[in-house]
Structure 1
Amino acid sequence: MIEDLMPPGVITAEVFADPPDAVLFPEEAALVTRAVEARRTEFTTGRHCARTALAGLGLPPTPILTGPRGEPLWPDGVVGTITHCRGYRAAAVARTPDVLSIGMDAEPREPLPPGVLDAIALPQERTWAESAQERGRLLFTMKESVFKAWYPLTHRNLGFDEAEIIVNDTGTFTAKLLVPGPVGEFTGRWAVSDGFVASAIVWGTNTPSGM
């Protein structure tokens, strides 16, 4: 699913179940010692996907630690992103400087919990988001993808109300950044498949508005 949203040069790995042989490096395990079992499992499988993707770049297994916002810390010369939800885990990586940032998110294909759309949607986004039951969830993935693409470029938080999403029903979207920064807008891709909704943004030297 995620592979179809990425341009050439971005390596992906995804699973729909947690592999029993997925393990963490000791440094990674220390990050989730106090987490509940479900969180440890999704973290472990996310790292498993990340190392599978890194192997596609010819890189050896390595610990992937976390930054101040919980973001993955990738090896030098690599950018990437990880997503996990119920029944799905995935990672995407690429080499710099061709790609400078990747944002990706996936969610189950189901309505958002009550009140969440009110928290994430701008008034101009609501008409689209309310027109089909999975579109609120899809909007959520787009907002998450924007943040994941934005944060490595700026190391600044971005609120749900600080990016306006404009969706093209052919499978692309534009995110207009409503705060100052190095990027005025991103463009991305989205998909609905296999009981999930997903979106992705790739920003780089050959993708001036993202992909």
Structure 2
Amino acid sequence: MSAMIKVILTEDHPLVVEGIKAMLDHQPDLTCMATCGSASALLGLLKTMQPDIILMDINLPDTSGIDLCKAVKQLYPAIGVLALSINNHPSVIRQMMDNGADGYLLKDAEKSEIIAAIKAVTKNNCFYSHSVTMTLRNADNHPLPSLTRREREVLELISDGFTNREIAEKLYVDITTVDSHRKNMLAKYNVKNTSALIKLAMINHLL
């Protein structure tokens, strides 16, 4: 039997909380271990609770989910964060990606999509709902630049968790060359960090 996936829901609308909690608790391998309606309440819970996933609203009464996501990922990098929002604006989605979110769902997502997202992130994959993916693709009027063969090799190894030094050894190149490829890709796709780069590449099937 697989281990129970523990979820904390951070959402300040009671009806949404009630609906999502009931949905999660009806799944045999999911449990909503706690709910909270603010950033401060979540940070308090995390001092004593260790969820696998946080379902996080972006519009919270005390702090934006964008800032809260960054704080949670700095303090508890192993916890998966799934944004749950009515906001489908590309800049907001990208800010969440830049701050370490592992996925982004709209509140009108189907039950099956929410469950699939939670399970995907638990397995260290990222998950963006279909409508979010389409929003990001349509945000630019021009197609994304493609990866060169060497950039693809470097990015695949980064996504597999290898360090720059290990990648250099595997590809028989200097470590500065690997770092140069990484920086070039960040600039090419206008993202702030490697995590956001990997997520963008996966969303757009560049990997």
Higher relative contact order (CA 8 A, sep 6+): 1
User: TM-score over 0.5 for the alignment?
Assistant: no
* Structure with more strand by fraction: 1
TM-score by length of 1: 0.27
TM-score by length of 2: 0.28
Indicate the structure (1 or 2) with the bigger Cα radius of gyration.
2
